[in-house]
Amino acid sequence: MAKIVTMGEIMLRLSTPGYQKFIQADNFEVNYGGGEANVCVSLARFGHKTYFVSKVPDNPIGECAVAALRKHDVNCEYIIKGGERLGIYYLEPGASMRPSNVVYDRAHSSMSEAAIEEFDFDTIFKGADWFHLSGITPAISDKAADLALAALQKARELGVKVSMDFNYRAKLWSYEKAGKVMTELLPYVDVCIGSKEDAIYILGMTPSQKPDGALADDVTKDMFQQMIERFGFQCMAGTMRESYSASDNGWSACIYDGKEFYHTRKYDMRIVDRVGGGDSFAAGLICGLVEGKGIKEALDFATAASALKHTIPGDVNLVTRSEVERLMNGDASGKVQR
């Protein structure tokens, strides 16, 4: 059981029930989540000792967000209270060829205006085995980007292994801004989660081969290689989503550690809720790596875990380790367990 720390924003998600458009909804389903918070809950469900670092408003809505994590056994003692508001995102779930629609209302959130001094990272990282961050946190504000950098530096200083997920959000920042900030942060990262597109569009890297002629996996391996060389990652991994429609996706992942490149089997998923799919992958990968599994086994676990996430409503992956292992071992028949 490892001590794993994640830091980020937790938001209130308000979604319409039954595929309704916003204009039809008389009530919203309430969930609390966010990139790193989702990772944290999933790792807690897998049995690790997880800590979430954040700032929420000192009001009942902030309290609800914390309780939602605590319910799943996330340690919340490093969540501070204050600031103006809890960020919100409105979600209109898509179906078939109609995409899900997200409306952000997250500006001025407590976490986006939190200051470095408010967190005692020496205490937070004491005895920690792993620290995870996503590219959403530095995207929400300059202050949050500074906070992310400070945390990464302290984690490196204290010997905590660090993973970071690009998680690029076009509604939060531009490629240019993302490139500038991520370039500062990535040197402190051990395990990076991203895609060849992140390397090309955000970091401005150039594939060695012309992409059109090359196989997708070759380009991916090339870009992962370049990233590893530039930032010194131990390994880099990423998911491949094939969006046939909002209802059906293909899902696989690949990993590269400078030596071996591995691409998992592909899952064809009937989607219940795809939000948090990437986060559940990150959680699965961290779970495998922190437990000392090889990169292939860790990746297989992560891919099965995140495929299952797509069958669960809400942001967070509530599957158990044994459910993941059953799928990982090949039983995708969905037969009733009775």
Scan residues 273-312 and list those touching a copy of itself (CB under 8 A).
274-275, 307-308, 310-312
CB 147 within 8 A of CB 124: no
Tokens of 125: 């990282």
Binding to a copy of itself (CB under 8 A) within 4-23 occurs at 14, 17-23
Residue (140 or 151) nearer to a copy of itself, CB:
140
> Alpha carbon of 1 to those of 43, 44, 86, 163, 190: distances in Å?
10, 10, 31, 18, 20
10 Å Cβ neighbour count for 243? Answer: 12
In one-letter notation, the amino acid at residue 173 is: W
**Strand-strand pairing, 161-165 and 130-134:** parallel
Catalytic residue among 279, 300, 315, 331: 279
Distance between the two ends of the chain, CA-based, in angstroms? 30
Binding to a copy of itself (CB under 8 A) within 46-75 occurs at 59-61, 63-64, 67-68, 70-73
- Contact between 81 and a copy of itself by CB under 8 A: the answer reads no
> Alpha carbon of 312 to those of 15, 186, 269, 331: distances in Å?
14, 32, 12, 18
Which of 118, 120, 176, 248 is close enough to bind a copy of itself by CB under 8 A? 248
Residue (136 or 191) nearer to a copy of itself, CB:
136
Binding to a copy of itself (CB under 8 A) within 181-240 occurs at none
Binding to a copy of itself (CB under 8 A) within 107-146 occurs at 107-108
- Contact between 329 and a copy of itself by CB under 8 A: the answer reads no
Residue (139 or 191) nearer to a copy of itself, CB:
139
Residue indicated by tokens 């040197």: 187
Examine the residue annotation and report whether 279 is marked as an active-site residue of this protein.
yes
**Strand-strand pairing, 11-15 and 49-56:** unpaired
Residue indicated by tokens 């531009």: 174
Residue (174 or 209) nearer to a copy of itself, CB:
174
CB of 111 to a copy of itself, least distance (A): 15
Q: Given the rule CB under 8 A, which of 48-56, 143-151, 193-201, 266-274 is the region that contacts a copy of itself?
A: 266-274
In sequence order, which residues have a C-beta less than 8 Å from that of residue 170 and are 6 or more positions away?
Answer: none
- Strand partners for 65: none
- Contact between 80 and a copy of itself by CB under 8 A: the answer reads no
Residue (183 or 247) nearer to a copy of itself, CB:
247
d(CA 234, CA 256): 9
Which of 49, 80, 100, 201 is close enough to bind a copy of itself by CB under 8 A? 100
- Residues marked as catalytic: 279
